[in-house]
Structure 1
Amino acid sequence: MNDLIDLVQWPAMVVSVLAAYLVASLSKHKRNWGFWLFLLSNALWIVWGLHTSAWALIVLQVSLAALNIRGVLKNGPQARDAKEAA
């Protein structure tokens, strides 16, 4: 089982790179997929971090997930409507 969890770092890395690629897209649909993939990569890194006791990595991934969610909320339709009304 430990060997399988050790391997989680590779899919986590691939998903992180793919998410970064998609988030940089001009397509809203691709950016949305990038957001969800970033959250998946955060979860994968947390699983691996728990297994290896990489506490700083876990804190980093939770922080990045929170910032990503904040960014989506600040750029959502309601936020845009409120900005235009101001």
Structure 2
Amino acid sequence: MDGFIDFLQWPAMAVSLIAAYLIGSKRAERRILGFWTFIFSNLLWIVWGWHDEAWALITLQLALMAMNIRGIFKNEA
């Protein structure tokens, strides 16, 4: 299980990059998908951070998740 958790940082990074790309879209639907994708990456980072006891990373991801949730509601569709 430790090997899987250690590997999890790579999919988390890739999902974060995909989310950033989607957030830059002119289409509201893609931006909303980007926020949801960022939330998924936040969860992946939290799992990885919990395993490595990276408390600052977990706190950052929780704060970013709150901003992503706000982004979903503030996004003009």
TM-score after normalising by structure 1: 0.83
Q: Secondary structure at the match of 1:29?
A: helix
Q: Find the counterpart in structure 1 of residue 71 from structure 2.
A: 71
Ranges of 4+ aligned residues in structure 1 off by more than 2 Å = 71-77
Distance in 1, matches of 2:10 and 2:28, equals 27
Distance in 2, matches of 1:4 and 1:24, equals 31
Classify 1:71/1:22 alpha carbon distance in 2 versus 1 (closer, same or farther; 3 Å): same
Give the structure, 1 or 2, with the largest relative contact order (CA under 8 Å, sep 6 or more): 2
Structure 1, unaligned runs of 5 or more? 78-86
Q: Pairwise CA RMSD of aligned residues? A: 1.3
Structure 2, unaligned runs of 5 or more? none
Distance in 2, matches of 1:46 and 1:32, equals 21
Classify 1:33/1:75 alpha carbon distance in 2 versus 1 (closer, same or farther; 3 Å): closer
